[in-house]
Amino acid sequence: MNLYQVAEEITRRLSGLFLLDANGRRPANGDARKFQEDPHWRDCLQFFEYFHGDTGAGAGANHQTGWTGVIARAMHLFATLTPGQVLAEGTKAYRAKPPAARAGK
């Protein structure tokens, strides 16, 4: 794996904490029924400070984004760029163009 692929894999694994799984549950919400089942709360994401290593359930502070806020940024990055763009333009591939231009529109 090259460094781009490693970063992409780490992002995939971390984003899995917040995305719905095959059972329609978010691992980060753990056993909190209100956040897993209540239609008014189930799409309210909490960015916890720590996560349980086996279940992915969030632990610690959940009232601030801290380091976990970077997961959303990484998901956006890998959804809008290709490895070729990064190799050709480096950080300019992301910063230099407005979103519509990156998408080829």
How do residues 72-100 score in pLDDT, each as one tens digit?
888 888 898 888 888 898 878 877 555 56
**CB contact at 8 A, 1 and 8:** no
User: Are 81 and 102 contacting, i.e. CB atoms less than 8 angstroms apart?
Assistant: yes
Cα(38)–Cα(15) distance, integer angstroms: 21
CB atoms inside a 10 Å sphere around CB 57: 18
CA 84, 7, 31, 29 dihedral sign is: negative
Tell me which residue range forms the domain holding 14.
3-102
User: In the prediction, which pLDDT does 61 show?
Assistant: 83
**What's the N-to-C CA distance of the chain in angstroms?**
31
Q: 88 phi and psi, to 5 degrees?
A: -75, -40
- The residue among 74, 81, 85, 98 whose CA lies nearest residue 13 is 74
Statement: the pTM of the whole predicted model exceeds 0.85: no
14-58 pLDDT, tens digit each: 999 999 999 999 999 999 999 999 999 999 988 888 899 999 999
Q: How many structural domains is the chain composed of?
A: 1
Confidence of residue 11 (pLDDT cuts 50, 70, 90): very high
Asked if 27 and 21 touch (Cβ cutoff 8 Å), the reply is yes
What pLDDT does residue 46 have? 86
